[in-house]
Structure 1
Amino acid sequence: MAKLYHVPLSPFCRKVRLSLAEKKIECELVEERYWEESPEFLRRNPAGKVPVLKIDGRTMAESGPICEYIEEKYPEPALMPTSPEGRYEVRRLVGWFDDKFHQEVTSKLLYERVNKKVMGRGFPDSGNVKSGARAIKYHLDYMAWLLDHRRWLAGDKMTLADFAAAAHLSALDYISDVDWNRSDVVKDWYAKIKSRPAFRGILSDQVPGFPPPAHYADLDF
């Protein structure tokens, strides 16, 4: 069985979890307090970051390469298109959410509101929180524009791009930082993702001291 070292609200860990679950790969989840930089964990990943996945006799770090490995080793059901153009678009959007969205939104909201307290690193920076609250509106509008032209974010089929976006938004939804009333098309897209069996583990997450809102696990939110 695969083993994933993770933290529940990490969007990068969630992206890997969704990929594994969609492909029905059984995986043991091990919560890792990576910020404590234990020697044992640093031996698994000298970068001191999660996720770290043990699978097929290998120990792997970095969510992007991990997901690409899973896709190549376990190609069904496919999370990447067959055409070079389609694969480019998926990778572009995964990069968008894991880089731009993460820097402008996730790191400003989730990390300030939750991670700082969990790690014992002080109180939220109100300036960062306000910046993240402004920026998420732009990103939701961009997603709405994409979904006005496509069935899914990268095209006509669900891909890793959708899981990357859902990983970030689900973590933010856990702390009620997503305005689902801003766009019906984005809300409908998330409802489709949320109702997939692969999402069940995500919706059952509990972080001590941070209870999720009532709508978090509600498929009819």
Structure 2
Amino acid sequence: MITLYHVPQSRSMRVLWLLNELEVEHRLVEMPFDGSLGTEEFLTRSPAGRVPALEIEGERMFESGAMVIYLCERFPERGMGRLEGAMDRMAWLVWVHFAETLTQHVSSLVLQHIVLGDEASAATKRVETARIEQCYAAIEARLSTPVENRDYLLTGGYSAADICVGQAVYMARHFARTDDYPELRAWFARITERQSYLDALPGPSASRMFEREFYE
């Protein structure tokens, strides 16, 4: 049994989305975004007190990027990964990890808009929003490359790279508009039609880090 410790609207969503796509049996433990992540019990699963945490066959993992790579390699039959020697292996690794480049700027804006409140820095908000837009531009450029069947980030089609970057864009869209990036918008609409994504969204009663957009 695979157990995922998850907070809605966090990095753990990318792992849940992937598990849904892999169609492997798993147990979901939804954690509130509060002090329970710092309990002694949870710190045995994730020593920094962060989600996601993953338990599989008695072993524990606590980095979402590592989980994505491990799960894709453990369950290769669904084609979500690109194994060593595959045509798209290099690009797959780049885009799986690029998700974290975008997410770090999202995390900064979560801190500014939600945690700090009146103590937030207007300058930091502007800088981090601009950096999100730079990431959007990088995705737009990739999707605009004149390659046949460029519906996804990889030439070989849909993969965990789309899941990782798509989840980062899902978060980023709360802080920076995508209006000026038509290829990104079309790609995001395409990947979020999938049932695996819909099943990874917060449920009606789930706790959320935010409920609205924070555009400046």
Indicate whether the TM-score tops 0.5.
yes
Alpha-carbon distance, 1:113 to partner: 2.2
Alignment partner, residue 218 of structure 1: none
With normalisation by structure 1, the TM-score equals 0.80
Residue pairs, 1:1-221, within 5 angstroms: 1-10=1-10, 12-25=11-24, 26-31=26-31, 33=33, 37-82=38-83, 83-98=85-100, 100-103=101-104, 105-114=105-114, 116=115, 123-149=119-145, 150-173=150-173, 175=174, 177-205=175-203, 206-208=206-208, 210-212=210-212
What is the distance in 2 between the residues matched to 1:123 and 1:41?
30
Distance 1:184-1:33 versus aligned 2 partners, 3 A rule: closer
What is the distance in 1 between the residues matched to 2:134 and 2:209?
30
Alpha-carbon contact 1:110-1:171 (below 8 Å) kept? no
Equivalent position amino acid for 1:126 in 2: A
Alpha-carbon distance, 1:172 to partner: 2.7
Which of the two has greater helix per residue?
A: 1
Is the deviation greater in 148-157 or in 182-191?
148-157
Alignment partner, residue 217 of structure 1: none
What is the distance in 1 between the residues matched to 2:68 and 2:93?
11
What is the distance in 2 between the residues matched to 1:147 and 1:58?
37
With normalisation by structure 2, the TM-score equals 0.82
What's the Cα RMSD here? 2.4
Distance 1:101-1:157 versus aligned 2 partners, 3 A rule: same
Number of aligned residue pairs: 204
Alpha-carbon contact 1:44-1:52 (below 8 Å) kept? yes
User: For 1:58-80, what per-residue CA distance to the aligned partner results, in whole angstroms no more than 9, with x for missing partners?
Assistant: 32221122112211222231112
Distance 1:195-1:22 versus aligned 2 partners, 3 A rule: same
Equivalent position amino acid for 2:197 in 1: F
Alpha-carbon contact 1:34-1:41 (below 8 Å) kept? no
Q: Which runs of 5+ in 1 are unaligned?
A: 214-221
What is the distance in 1 between the residues matched to 2:72 and 2:156?
18
Distance 1:113-1:194 versus aligned 2 partners, 3 A rule: same
What is the distance in 2 between the residues matched to 1:191 and 1:209?
23
Is the deviation greater in 75-84 or in 177-186?
75-84
User: For 1:80-137, what per-residue CA distance to the aligned partner results, in whole angstroms no more than 9, with x for missing partners?
Assistant: 2343451121111222221x3233x2123233223x26xxx97433222111211122
What is the distance in 2 between the residues matched to 1:123 and 1:4?
34
What is the distance in 2 between the residues matched to 1:209 and 1:96?
23
What is the distance in 2 between the residues matched to 1:87 and 1:211?
37
SS of equivalent to 1:111: helix
What is the distance in 2 between the residues matched to 1:178 and 1:154?
24
Runs of 4+ more than 6 Å apart: none
SS of equivalent to 1:54: strand
Equivalent position amino acid for 1:137 in 2: E
Alpha-carbon distance, 1:4 to partner: 1.4
